[in-house]
Structure 1
Amino acid sequence: MFMEIKFVKSFLLVSSQHVFPNILKKHTRMRIKLFWITLFLLSINLVTAQDDLTSYLTLPSELTENANAVVRLDETIVDVRAINDMEISEKRIVTVLNEKGIYKIGAAVGYDNDIKVKDVEVRIYDKFGKQIKKIRERDFIDVSAVSGGTMYTDSRVKYIDYTPTEYPFTAVFTSTIQTKNTANLPSFNPIGYYIGIQKSRYKITYPSSFILHKKELNLKEFGVIKDEKEGKLSYSIENFPGIKPESLSPSESEIEPKVFLALNKFSYDGVTAEINNWEEFGSWMYQSLLNGRATVDAETTATIENLVANATSDREKAKIIYEFMQNKTRYISVQVGIGGFQPIPANEVDKVGYGDCKGLTNYTMALLKIAGVESYYTHVEAGNEIVGFYDDFASLAQGNHVILNIPNNGDDIWLECTSQKVPFGHIGDFTDNRNVLVITPEGGKIKRTKKYSTEENLQETNGLYTLNNDGNIIADVTVMTKGIQYDSRYYLQDRSDVEKDKHYKRYFRTVNNVNIDEIALKNDKEAIAFSEKIKFKADAYGVITGNRMLFAPNALNRYTNIPDRYRNRKFPLEIQRGYYDTDAYEIKLPNDYKIEAIPDNVTYETKFGSYSFTITKKDDQTLQYQRTIKIKDGLYPKEAYKEYRKFIKKIVKYDGSKIVLIKK
């Protein structure tokens, strides 16, 4: 606006001095006055257009960088009126730039007997800000929060399923809910990958007789503004462009701004509580939500007693009971926070044969109790990225899954009760190495689930392959995995033959035209080890040039992926899980060729891990290839990423080293 006014003033000055030097009369002054009136009216229209958040045309272009959608306004207002009376209002205006950004509209509300939807609506606008659709509450899809079961009939979700005709478009979502449950306050979590933020604000009001506990993360780094007064707290952030994820950075929740909130007094399902720490919190959960729900009938009790009659240790009893539970039940999905925090009673799970994570864990705990095995219901923040409970902040906002803890005299056993396949005592990358809340009769305790060492995350590859005179190979390979590497492989046993064939053709991707002849898989649940035996043929692995043949001795487990390069990396480097690979191959050379050149042996060590390979000549036509690669877990400053990438690039180079054969 200032530049426009400056231009108009310059134009008038030039005109008066050079174009119309003799006609600055009364009618000229009137024209100038009319011009200024017109300019003023135009400026009002311009300001109005700039304030119109439904038009793509008013969207600041810098916010679209690295963005699939831009949140024009995200406003959450939480009004806690009493210990059992809370209203939550949301208004979210989102300009969706492409199909990957539709999810950010977030047009869904959950409700049950204690959560009432007072208002919900979505309005859709085209790129010019013209309304093209209005979706009222009656037009929302209303479904049970759980599919395939009837145990949670009062837990439901209203949502929209909107398919746009073109991009960009803008959606305005508004909702208001009223709830008696004040145990789980919404968090402030404004930033996400590939999402631009024009304005996001959060406001909570609460009785001054309450204490509002908070856990604030990364606010200063992102310029979050905080305003706190008695009984009031607000946060806001403005004009933040989209963020691209970076390879091997810490989990999203660890690097973005976030605020968890919890009242020291709250009500849940008609039960009130006053808590300030995890011990008090766990005691409340045990007494109010768990106690009395872990019992089964006399018939099942007798069955369990008979099953464990000859067991000689608590571990053996627990294993027998765990496998009984796996064979008797199936899992249905109801996430913590929608289906409530209280598990279905164990006798109901026993009757119907299914349950969610809460119900199945509570059921397993009930069966173990019959056998005299101590076990505890445990809340966890599950996911492939490691995110744990904050030990200095107690609230229901943390935790999306439930597992079972068996103390076992200090040698903790962790049980995932939702899977019919996972071995007893094994937890994978969904729940490993993180702080969890163990709920005991004495109160809540923060423990850490098992962390697999680098050496435990083992993969051993042993093989024999023969290279013929045409460069084709015949291979016989055995791969054995443990730890987290086991966790990423054992599911293959349940795949169809077609799926297995596709998998191994992708797995041996550095070999051309693979034809799988045999696949034999074995899941050793006792040793928690998975074995894969594969036989295959492939054409033209050895490249023939004149009277020479070139091939990489590492045909069966070659590293090919180099981490992305960043000119200006923003986040630290984190390797969340280390691993250890060992490889040993016998290589039979073609009869018509002899060795002309062979790579030197390599040993390479860095703070991130180590790499080595050796090639030994057993006889004129036989080589022995051995390789190890160890990657350590750890957190490093962002400046270390370049060095780590160099380490991986060298591994890729060494793995691709060639042997040169020449015709005899």
Structure 2
Amino acid sequence: MHKTNLAYILLLLFSIQVLAQESLYTSLTIPSKLRGNANAVVRYNHVQIALNSSYEMSVLQKRVVTILNKEGDDAINAVVHYDNNVKIKNLEVKVYNNFGTQINKFKKNDFKDVSAVDGGTLYSDSRVKYLEYTAVDYPYSVEFISETVSNNTAFIQPFMPIDDYFLSIERSTYQINYPTEITLRTLERNFDNYELIKEEASGVLKYKVKNINAFKPEKYAPAFFDLAPKVLLASNQFTLEGVQAKVENWNDFGKWMYHDLIKDTHDLPESTIAMIQELVKDETNDIEKAKKIYKYVQDKTRYISVQVGIGGWKPFNASDVDKLGYGDCKGLTNYTMALLNAVGVKSNYCVVWRYTQGRSIEKDFTSMQGNHVFLNIPTENNEDIWLECTSQKLPFGFIANSTDDRDVLVITTDGGEIKHTKKYNPEESIQTINGKYSISNDGNLQAQVIVGSKGIQYDDKYWLETETERDLDKHYKKRWRYVNSMSIESMDIQNDKQDIQFIEQVSFNATNYSKVIGDRMLLTVNALNRSTHVPDRYRNRNYPLKVSRGFVDIDEVEIELPSDYKVESMPKNIAIENKFGHYKTEIEKIDENKLLYKREFKVNDGEFPKEDYEKFRSFYKTVSRQDNAKIALIKK
């Protein structure tokens, strides 16, 4: 009797488990709240890592995802990266229809195998296998299983349950097993709104989370990485392509990088050292020496990605870059550093997250981070100088929009430290417009304008220097797209790299700019810098308001009115000031037929509560409306 009951219970439990597993392969069992904003739902994702030692690690992943519509196809994410140090042991995919019936199966050889880098890379051993699957019907589910083994343990896969917008998570689990002699560190972020279950035992760490609703992107919001829940993991003892390390803090990490990856690469030929010393012999100031060397590197070298060596982290020798005339970010930065060292100018190799919406190195979590390197020149009394060594166009010390205003790892001969790069304040990111335009009795416009741009606004325009005349014509017509029937008469641009200012002089005309109605003419006063942008509206804002970079626009425009008309009415002067910035306009009457239009528009950078978003939107909406204000003219 007891045996019969036990067998029945075991059979029942097995049946329940089978049914639970089968329910993952049909969309019919997805909880309704997980469907909101979702193009796909991860039904189950399990990552199991065996950190067998500081030089061996295996990763097993099983993932079941239900694709709800065509926009969710990318969520299949059946992708595995590998190289000479990462081997794929298992790779398979099963596809199920909406009722949970298997309709397809793919093995390792069915996956496409391509280089993991773009055509701008000279050489890399990084490759990727991925499944290219074309769905016949929706919804459908995909089970993806992969297993890899690596002798690189510097990068431990984080627990990041949700990795994209429009993707819900039903259940996600993570387990890492590690030897007790290894110290494992973790950093948990953004789990305040979720129930994170954590289990710890000797040599074992587990995480589990359920029911994460899809994130929907919003404009003027923090980056996805800063919003999504995640656990970062790192070991104090690790190996990177045979090079072992033991680090507990950023100082240790910097020492390891300098002594094991960088120090032995500064092998400039004696002839190059003599040449570079001759180049700067008349300069007594270190900064002026650095400027000449930076210009030399820009003229001599070009950027090309070379992702070999210590996991793409060890730079090529300076002698190789000197001989070949090209290198990746590591090689060019290291080469510039070696040249500076040859003339006694101290500089430091730096690791940074480039672009990535201002992402900083996690200063409280020592680990392999970053996707780019550049150079730091410390100064005693002034702000440090930062050099982007991969660009042949950027001015000395200019880093706006790619590595500005974020924490980076600076590697010195004594170790590593976290520093914050230059922040371009709104007052530094200024655009000035000095112009004049005239309106004919037929309402036609003739305009001349000089535009000067600095800071972030310089970064928006400096690339125009190398554009063709045809492309410039298209660019200016797009910039002043609210002026119909525009014809460009002349264009002259000047890139002042010394003062880091971009200057544009443009003349153009347009027919029927002003609207003539009987004896009256309506003239939109702001012809040269009209703000048409109004941020998107959100009925229920979810994320904080973030303005990554501020700016200031200052305009002064002389307006010559048509000779047969006089002013009937003018817009009132405006002055608006709030936490988001300010907006001021003023129209001054010079004489019967001349006006002077002054405008100042400032936007402050910063992060604000989500409740402020509608006020921010209203500010932009008011600016757009006022920039469209009109002067009423009447025939004399």
TM-score (normalised: structure 1): 0.88
Shift of 1:483: 0.5
Kindly indicate whether the alpha-carbon contact (under 8 Å) linking 1:210 and 1:264 is maintained by their aligned counterparts in 2. Answer: yes
Q: Distance in 1 between matches of 2:310 and 2:522?
A: 59
Q: In the alignment, which residue of structure 2 is the partner of 1:647?
A: 619
Q: In the alignment, which residue of structure 1 is the partner of 2:168?
A: 196
Deviations 1:409-444 (A, max 9, x none): 353111111111111110021110111000112111
Q: 1:478 to 1:68 in 2, by over 3 A?
A: farther
Q: Distance in 1 between matches of 2:328 and 2:25?
A: 40
Q: Distance in 2 between matches of 1:303 and 1:500?
A: 40
1:181 and 2:152 matched? yes
Q: In the alignment, which residue of structure 1 is the partner of 2:59?
A: 88
Q: 2:24 is paired with a residue of what secondary structure?
A: coil
Kindly indicate whether the alpha-carbon contact (under 8 Å) linking 1:145 and 1:334 is maintained by their aligned counterparts in 2. Answer: no
Range moving further from structure 2, 191-200 or 481-490: 191-200
**Percent of counterpart pairs with the same letter?**
49
Shift of 1:93: 2.5
1:154 and 2:125 matched? yes
Structure 1: unaligned runs, 5 residues or longer: 1-40
Q: 1:338 to 1:126 in 2, by over 3 A?
A: farther
1:635 and 2:607 matched? yes
Q: In the alignment, which residue of structure 2 is the partner of 1:310?
A: 282
Shift of 1:163: 4.3
Shift of 1:510: 2.0
Q: 1:364 is paired with a residue of what secondary structure?
A: helix
Counterparts of 1:114-153 in structure 2, within 5 Å, are: 114-147=85-118, 152-153=123-124
1:362 and 2:341 matched? no
Q: 1:317 is paired with a residue of what secondary structure?
A: helix
Q: In the alignment, which residue of structure 1 is the partner of 2:577?
A: 605
Kindly indicate whether the alpha-carbon contact (under 8 Å) linking 1:365 and 1:404 is maintained by their aligned counterparts in 2. Answer: yes
Q: Distance in 1 between matches of 2:207 and 2:491?
A: 57
Among candidates 373, 389, 404, match of residue 402 of structure 1: 373
Q: 2:288 is paired with a residue of what secondary structure?
A: helix
Shift of 1:46: 13
Aligned length: 622
Shift of 1:216: 1.2
Q: 1:561 to 1:437 in 2, by over 3 A?
A: same
Partner amino acid for 1:73? Y
Range moving further from structure 2, 578-587 or 403-412: 403-412
Q: Distance in 2 between matches of 1:99 and 1:474?
A: 50
Q: In the alignment, which residue of structure 1 is the partner of 2:422?
A: 450
Shift of 1:65: 2.1
Q: In the alignment, which residue of structure 2 is the partner of 1:542?
A: 514
Q: Distance in 1 between matches of 2:158 and 2:226?
A: 14
Q: In the alignment, which residue of structure 2 is the partner of 1:74?
A: 45
Range moving further from structure 2, 422-431 or 85-94: 85-94
Q: 2:264 is paired with a residue of what secondary structure?
A: coil
Among candidates 466, 489, 492, match of residue 494 of structure 1: 466
Q: 2:261 is paired with a residue of what secondary structure?
A: helix
Range moving further from structure 2, 266-275 or 159-168: 159-168
Kindly indicate whether the alpha-carbon contact (under 8 Å) linking 1:155 and 1:338 is maintained by their aligned counterparts in 2. Answer: no
Q: 1:77 to 1:368 in 2, by over 3 A?
A: same
Shift of 1:457: 0.6
Q: In the alignment, which residue of structure 2 is the partner of 1:587?
A: 559
Q: Distance in 2 between matches of 1:208 and 1:639?
A: 48
Deviations 1:600-629 (A, max 9, x none): 111111122111010011111111101001
Shift of 1:283: 0.8
Q: Distance in 1 between matches of 2:608 and 2:67?
A: 35
Q: In the alignment, which residue of structure 2 is the partner of 1:213?
A: 185
TM-score (normalised: structure 2): 0.92
Q: Distance in 2 between matches of 1:328 and 1:106?
A: 41
Q: Distance in 1 between matches of 2:308 and 2:447?
A: 48
Q: Distance in 1 between matches of 2:156 and 2:28?
A: 36
Q: 1:281 to 1:45 in 2, by over 3 A?
A: closer
Range moving further from structure 2, 68-77 or 258-267: 68-77
Among candidates 300, 305, 316, match of residue 344 of structure 1: 316
Q: Distance in 2 between matches of 1:151 and 1:516?
A: 42
Deviations 1:71-96 (A, max 9, x none): 22222211111111110112233333
Counterparts of 1:14-93 in structure 2, within 5 Å, are: 48=19, 51-93=22-64
Q: Distance in 2 between matches of 1:129 and 1:332?
A: 48
Kindly indicate whether the alpha-carbon contact (under 8 Å) linking 2:449 and 2:507 is maintained by their aligned counterparts in 1. Answer: yes
Q: Distance in 2 between matches of 1:65 and 1:573?
A: 22
1:435 and 2:407 matched? yes
Q: In the alignment, which residue of structure 1 is the partner of 2:587?
A: 615
Shift of 1:338: 9.9
Deviations 1:107-152 (A, max 9, x none): 3322222222212233444444444444432233333444557864
Shift of 1:153: 4.4
Structural RMSD (CA): 2.5
Q: Distance in 2 between matches of 1:157 and 1:349?
A: 28
1:372 and 2:336 matched? no
Q: Distance in 2 between matches of 1:627 and 1:110?
A: 53
Q: 1:215 to 1:46 in 2, by over 3 A?
A: closer
Among candidates 537, 549, 572, match of residue 544 of structure 2: 572
1:262 and 2:200 matched? no
1:331 and 2:314 matched? no
Shift of 1:586: 1.0
Q: 1:93 to 1:472 in 2, by over 3 A?
A: farther
Structure 2: unaligned runs, 5 residues or longer: 1-11
Partner amino acid for 1:600? K
Q: 1:149 to 1:604 in 2, by over 3 A?
A: closer
Q: Distance in 1 between matches of 2:121 and 2:271?
A: 24
Kindly indicate whether the alpha-carbon contact (under 8 Å) linking 1:151 and 1:344 is maintained by their aligned counterparts in 2. Answer: no
Counterparts of 1:284-299 in structure 2, within 5 Å, are: 284-299=256-271
Kindly indicate whether the alpha-carbon contact (under 8 Å) linking 1:574 and 1:633 is maintained by their aligned counterparts in 2. Answer: yes
Partner amino acid for 2:289? K
Q: Distance in 2 between matches of 1:626 and 1:232?
A: 67
Shift of 1:284: 1.1
Q: 1:167 to 1:355 in 2, by over 3 A?
A: farther
Partner amino acid for 1:401? H
Q: Distance in 2 between matches of 1:93 and 1:337?
A: 35
Partner amino acid for 2:384? D
Q: In the alignment, which residue of structure 2 is the partner of 1:36?
A: none
Range moving further from structure 2, 540-549 or 520-529: 540-549
Q: 1:616 to 1:97 in 2, by over 3 A?
A: same
Q: 2:537 is paired with a residue of what secondary structure?
A: coil
Kindly indicate whether the alpha-carbon contact (under 8 Å) linking 2:198 and 2:208 is maintained by their aligned counterparts in 1. Answer: yes
Range moving further from structure 2, 181-190 or 53-62: 53-62
Q: 1:500 to 1:163 in 2, by over 3 A?
A: farther
Counterparts of 1:388-537 in structure 2, within 5 Å, are: 388-396=360-368, 398-410=369-381, 411-537=383-509
Counterparts of 1:266-281 in structure 2, within 5 Å, are: 266-281=238-253
Kindly indicate whether the alpha-carbon contact (under 8 Å) linking 1:319 and 1:424 is maintained by their aligned counterparts in 2. Answer: yes
Q: 1:130 to 1:419 in 2, by over 3 A?
A: farther
Tell me which structure has the larger Cα radius of gyration: 1
Q: Distance in 1 between matches of 2:460 and 2:145?
A: 41
Q: 1:498 is paired with a residue of what secondary structure?
A: helix
Deviations 1:621-663 (A, max 9, x none): 1111010011112222222222222222221222121111112
Shift of 1:329: 2.0
